[in-house]
Structures are given as structure tokens and as C-alpha cells.
Amino acid sequence: MLTQRLLTSDKGGMLVLGLIALTCIVVPILNLAVPESSPFHVSTFAVTLLGKFLCYALLALALDLIWGYAGILSLGHGAFFALGGYAMGMYLMRQIGDRGKYGDPLLPDFMVFLNWQDLPWYWHGFDMFWFAALMIILVPGILAWVFGWLAFRSRVTGVYFAIITQALTYALMLAFFRNEMGFGGNNGLTDFKDILDFSITADSTRIGLFLASGIALMLAYLACRYIVTSRAGKVIVSIRDAESRTRFSGYQVESYKLWLFVFSAVLAGIAGALYVPQVGIINPGEFSPLNSIELVVWVATGGRGTLYGAIVGAFSVNYGKTVFTTFYPEAWLFPLGLLFVLVTLVLPKGLVGLIGRFKKNKSATNKEEQP
């Protein structure tokens, strides 16, 4: 009954899920089993790129959940992504052990470089994967909880919320740039060696990470679907459309917003944690407000308010970006900026909405023809 609820009347979602599942099966085979000489071989580079896109899609899904369904535009979701990434990065740093340039068994290279004697207290425990995994969920979650509690309680909404979330990620970026914070300052965390004792550069590990990202995305999709089809999901949509009506119907609007925001932040954190081992670095640039706003355009392009739209958007914009930057590496901001303007002006429902409109027109003409 649950599967019925999650998947019926979600044709687009089923299609997207199916495609992801298919990729998760086909790509590893084409990478590992097909010889490199074959035209069907998928290079490890491509696998990593796809893995990155899957993480972006997960991040976009997280944002769509709160923006598309609850109408809360966060311009700081990149911060949760980066925090998850840093938590994973800290684990990977600790895994390096004494293989760093300075060979210190305990301290990461940058701390040795800064002449630190002891590991800061917040770096303890990150040598254990389970602890890091817990932190990947807790750190973004708790930050979102505190921040959301403060913001929603005082009814900060709309553009105000958007701007203070942007300020949040901006402040975090400034803070993480400082060497004294103990997160590697400008350079961030990098030179990772292995994850769970697998070499991070090995093809099989790459495939593993790719699969993990794909599975995480599918599970997250189903979880989001569960939320939006539940009664709580309807309350959330009601909050978006008529907040005070919902309040006067006896719902504590703040708590709905807060839990949704926390869940979304946790998803973003997981996306960041999966992203970091694939790209091999995390630095304060991930906190840049531009990243968060780029994320917004993925969702807007795909079509907000439909969960699969976010995934479609993340893939299409990032694919476009990859293609574009190979030819004009410097000028990416032009099409990105243009995309913002075009989507808001002509495509308020994104690509998904465009397809929907096209279909509607078609069925309308079909109906006319029948009688």
C-alpha cells in the first residue's frame, strides 16, 4: 500500500527513478567489465562526473523539498552541503595517518604546518567512520535546527529568510577561510588516501562511491515522496499557500517548517559527504553564496514543486555547465545568469512544467479531434 502511495500518479518520478537505477546497473558494468578499447567503455572520469551529478541531484532534491513544497527559499543550502562535506573530509584526513607530507601520525599536514601541537577537540572521533557518519547527519541537522528555530519562531519568511540564510553561508565561508578555525583555511582538506580502507583513487572505490550516491539519491527520493504524500506533506503545501489559514486550523506552522528544514539540511549534508571523496577536496569555496544560488537555479530550471524536477534540473544544468565550460571556461556566468532570468520570466514551472504544458496541449488537441 505504501509503494502504491509513493509511486502512483508519479509517472515522471518513476521514470527518473528508473533511469537512475538503470545507470547504477549499466555504468559499473561498462566501466569494470568492458575493456577500455571498446567504444562502450565508460571511463572512470565519466563515472566520477556522474557520481558528482548524483550528489548535486540529491542536494537539489533537498532544496526542492523546502522551496518547492513549503515555499521556504534557502540561499544557504550550500552551507549544509559543505558541512557534510567537511565532516567527511575530516574523516578522510584522519585516515591519511602518517602518510602525510610531514608524517605526523595524528596531526593532519596543515596543522603541522601551522605548528600546532595537539589535535583540536572537535577533530577527535573523526578517525572512526561511524562517528563521522553521525556527524554528517548531526552537524547540518543541528545547525538547521538552531537556525530554523530562531528564524521560524520569529516568523522570518520569504526574502528575509532567503537573505539571512545567504548571510549564514557567507559568515561560515569567512570563518572557514581562517586558519585558526582548524579546517585547513584557504586550502581546505585534501590529499585524501583512502576511505574505509579502500584506496580512494581505485576504480572499484569510485564505482562504489558512485553506487552509494545513486542509492542515496533513490532512497532520499522515496523518503521525500513519503513526506509529501503524507498528511504532513499536505499541511506543508497548505503552509506554502495559506500560512495563516493553516495556523488557524490548529497547526503549529513553525514546527512543520522546522522539521522539514532539518530533514532537508541533513539530506544536503549527506550529499556533501558523498561528494567530497569523489572530487577529492573540500574547501571554504563550497560555502560561497554563489554555490547556493546556483543550486537554486538547478531546482528552478528543473521545475520546483515536483521532486523529480529537481533531479532533472540538477542533471541538465550541470551537464550544460560541463559542456559549456569545456569550450568557454571563463564565461559560465553569462549562461548561468541568463538561465536565472529566463526561468523566472518564462519558465516558472521549469522543464518539467514545459513538458507538462506540451502534453496538455497534445491531449487537448487529441480530444478535439475525437468527436
Say whether residue 364 binds another protein (CB under 8 A): no
Say whether residue 337 binds another protein (CB under 8 A): yes
With 0-12 / 13-18 / 19 or more C-beta atoms within 10 angstroms meaning exposed / middle / buried, residue 170 is middle
Binder of another protein out of 242, 357, 360, 361 (CB under 8 A):
242
- Whether the CB-CB separation of 164 and 156 falls below 8 Å is answered with yes
- Whether the CB-CB separation of 189 and 183 falls below 8 Å is answered with yes
- CB closer to another protein, 50 vs 72: 72
Spatial distance between the Cα atoms of 350 and 355, rounded to a whole number of angstroms: 9
Shortest Å distance, C-beta 94 to another protein: 26
Say whether residue 250 binds another protein (CB under 8 A): yes
Site residues (CB under 8 A) for another protein, limited to 219-238: 227, 230-232, 234-235, 237-238
Polymer length of the chain: 371
- CB closer to another protein, 30 vs 336: 336
Spatial distance between the Cα atoms of 155 and 161, rounded to a whole number of angstroms: 9
Say whether residue 119 binds another protein (CB under 8 A): no
Say whether residue 347 binds another protein (CB under 8 A): no
Say whether residue 259 binds another protein (CB under 8 A): yes
Say whether residue 358 binds another protein (CB under 8 A): no
Shortest Å distance, C-beta 297 to another protein: 7
CA-CA distances (angstroms) from residue 286 to 37, 77, 101, 178, 280?
37, 10, 25, 14, 13
CA-CA distances (angstroms) from residue 136 to 91, 209, 247?
10, 16, 33
Dihedral through CA 66, CA 149, CA 84, CA 307, nearest 10?
-10
With 0-12 / 13-18 / 19 or more C-beta atoms within 10 angstroms meaning exposed / middle / buried, residue 46 is middle
Binder of another protein out of 95, 205, 246, 306 (CB under 8 A):
246
Binding site for another protein (CB under 8 A): 73, 147, 150-151, 153-156, 158-160, 162-164, 166-168, 170-171, 174-175, 177-178, 227, 230-232, 234-235, 237-238, 240-242, 244-253, 255-256, 259, 289, 293, 296-297, 300, 330-331, 333-334, 336-341, 343-345, 348
